[in-house]
């Protein structure tokens, strides 16, 4: 599924992702804004763009990460027309 399309994409934000984002909003708003920019970019194109998208093959098919900072990564899973945002703090 490496296509750019204008189809509707379902986004799911896992509990851990929401908790991580809440943490960043309290601790470092600049990082929280970067995460939201990454989410927008991922919804537009899950496989290309900012944050150096990288497939995490050893974690399963469709699992990707993007760099938030040198230490932290945003991890998401792409399946058909659905994107699951898993975490946005620490490494995978």
Residues catalogued as catalytic: 54, 91
Residues 46, 83 contacting (CB under 8 angstroms)? yes
The first and second tokens of residue 48, run together, are 């290309």
Query: Can you tell me the distance from the alpha carbon of 1 to that of 64, in angstroms, rounded to the nearest whole number?
Result: 13
Q: Are 66 and 51 in contact (CB under 8 A)?
A: yes
Contact 54, 64 (CB under 8 A): yes
């Amino acid at each position: 599924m490496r296509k750019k399309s204008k189809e509707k994409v379902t986004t799911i934000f896992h509990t851990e992702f929401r908790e991580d984002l809440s943490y960043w909003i309290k601790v470092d708003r600049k990082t929280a804004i970067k995460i939201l920019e990454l989410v927008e970019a991922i919804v537009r194109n899950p496989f290309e763009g900012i944050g150096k998208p990288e497939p995490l093959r050893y974690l399963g098919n469709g699992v990707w990460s993007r760099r938030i900072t040198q230490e932290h990564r945003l991890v998401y899973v792409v399946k058909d027309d659905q994107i699951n945002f898993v975490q946005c703090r620490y490494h995978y």
